[in-house]
Structure 1
Amino acid sequence: MLQVDGSQYICNSLITAIPGVATDCTALYKRGERTSGIYSIKPNGSEAFNVYCEMKSDSSWTVIQNRVDGSLDFNQTWESYTNGFGDLKGEFWLGLAKLYSIANQADYILRIELKDWKDNKRYIEYTFTLGSPETDYTLHLSEISGNIPNALPEQTELRFSVMDHDNATKRDCNCPERYSGGWWHRACGETNLNGKYIKPRSEGKLERRRGIYWKPQKGRFYLIKSTKLMIHPTDLESFE
């Protein structure tokens, strides 16, 4: 296995080697790569690291989170969420430090793809900015498109919180400890895509709230079966 920042990813033999390491998956796409898979990238000012690139018909996305079957425990520490954990061929969290190194290069779009337990697929896209480690990777969002009601506060400071590093605004409640996993919280009870993998038969509202769910400010509570978070630059023509 290949060790990356203390997290186990997959064997070197499964990594596509590209001469002259690119800055992200979009740069690889512009060089002619069209096969989804694991590549090495080197964002400006960063060390090289491996990512999963999802190649679509007209663009490429750098995947920062993938959850499909509950095989990986996402109730991890601040250090793990910073450095990344999991298997890039399966379930994983890329890491806040790596996400920051990519997003700090240009303006990016965040795309969230969701599938519920009836296999309905939905998505939503935002323009976003991500703060430095000194801000606890504060996230600011602005919705641009999608077919599911927005559930993440826009134009609001969302600090990333984990059980051992709680930065939620509502400090009388440790959101990650109460609801599991690490996420950008404003207050407890909001959407959390890094919660415990829970199937619909789980009983009790509190237990379901520990799971992966999408909760619009006005609307129903969606218990989620699979999630994928991806980014690519807003200006695809000029990005190199």
Structure 2
Amino acid sequence: MPSKHFLTACSALALLVALPSTPAMADPGYGDSPDLALRSCQHLYAMGVRRSGVYFLKPDGAQALTTYCDMETQGGGWAMVYNSVLGINTTDFWNIPYGDRLGRRGRPSLDSNFYEGSLYLYRRTEYVDAVKYMDVIEDLRGKTVILFTAQVGGFATSTMRFQGPQLLSGQPEIYREQFATGWAAPDHDGDIHSTTECSSYFANVTQHYGACWVYNLGADAGNEPEDGRVGPHLNSTVASALGLATDGTTYTRVRRITRFVRW
């Protein structure tokens, strides 16, 4: 005759088998479609998204757009504002008129040129104490470094300048010349150089300029700024100081320059 303990164990097993199985919690797929878009990459991160890639966002709560989200670097939650990659006619891509300064062009990925000017608009959410930016560069051998991180208090859409910028970490010279400074397009001289129109002089590349630049999304700073219209470029002395490879020229070509924002 089976023991009492054996019968009890069999009864418990039968009860478990009879209970309906509970389905696994389905992944809602935040950011995978316009209907599942959240406000920012930081919102996606807060909801458990950890894979870097292209997602749908609704920064203004209404119109969905796509951008690349870096979910790994510096705590994750970074949205790609622009990306300049080494290739033919890179310089042409960055000829962005003043009237298109808040527009969009290109495809959001780490291996293609991309610009989403609307992401400069100031948005602070419950997930951050301040809007923060991060500039990243990858050299010709594939080494990637963070150039700087910064926070801002706002953004002026008419001048394209940051309000109340503060350097948090990284390279002060690049921060000063390519972030906390002026902005210029071929038809808008908004840089801080006293005599040179930086964008017009440097192959009509639109970006933030000081007097004029340490990195450029397209142009060279040698005798021929166009440099075959292949860019982007970085001051080679700065590149060496950052431990990055150079091409042997004064302003080396690099594989990519990327700007991210987190709000």
Structure 2 length as normaliser, TM-score? 0.65
Alignment of 1:221-232 (within 5 A): 223=252, 224-232=254-262
Distance 1:65 1:231 in 2: 10
Provide the residue aligned with 2:57 in structure 1.
Answer: 41
- Give unmatched runs, 5+ long, in structure 2: 1-30, 241-249
Alignment of 1:132-143 (within 5 A): 132-134=156-158, 136-139=159-162, 141-143=165-167
Distance 1:46 1:66 in 2: 25
Query: Structure 1's 64 and 117: CA in aligned 2 closer, same or farther, altered over 3 A?
Result: same
Q: Deviations over 1:56-91 (max 9, x none)?
A: 174221111122332542223223442021111342
Provide the residue aligned with 2:133 in structure 1.
Answer: 110
Verify the 8 A CA contact 1:116 1:222 in the aligned structure 2: no
Distance 1:113 1:29 in 2: 20
- Give the CA deviation at 1:138: 0.5
Provide the residue aligned with 2:39 in structure 1.
Answer: 23
Distance 1:111 1:79 in 2: 25
Distance 1:39 1:230 in 2: 14
> Pick from 151, 156, 160: which aligns with 2:174?
151
Alignment of 1:51-200 (within 5 A): 51-56=67-72, 58-71=75-88, 72=90, 73-89=93-109, 90-100=111-121, 103-106=122-125, 107-123=130-146, 124-134=148-158, 136-139=159-162, 141-146=165-170, 148=171, 150-153=173-176, 158-170=181-193, 172-180=195-203, 181-188=205-212, 190-196=213-219
What is the DSSP-based 3-state SS (H/G/I as helix, E as strand, rest coil) of the residue aligned with 1:26? Answer: helix
Which has the larger share of helix? 2
- Give the CA deviation at 1:182: 0.9
- Give the CA deviation at 1:141: 3.4
Q: Deviations over 1:168-212 (max 9, x none)?
A: 223532211111311112323x2243223x6xxxxx823358753
Give the letter aligned to residue 75 of structure 1: N
What is the DSSP-based 3-state SS (H/G/I as helix, E as strand, rest coil) of the residue aligned with 1:113? Answer: strand
Alignment of 1:7-18 (within 5 A): 16-17=32-33
Specify the structure having the higher radius of gyration (Cα).
2
Verify the 8 A CA contact 2:84 2:232 in the aligned structure 1: no
Distance 1:170 1:207 in 2: 20
- Give the CA deviation at 1:163: 0.6
Q: Alpha carbon RMSD of aligned pairs, Å? A: 3.3
Give the letter aligned to residue 65 of structure 1: Y
- Give the CA deviation at 1:20: 4.9
What is the DSSP-based 3-state SS (H/G/I as helix, E as strand, rest coil) of the residue aligned with 2:165? Answer: strand
- Give unmatched runs, 5+ long, in structure 1: 1-14, 199-203, 234-240
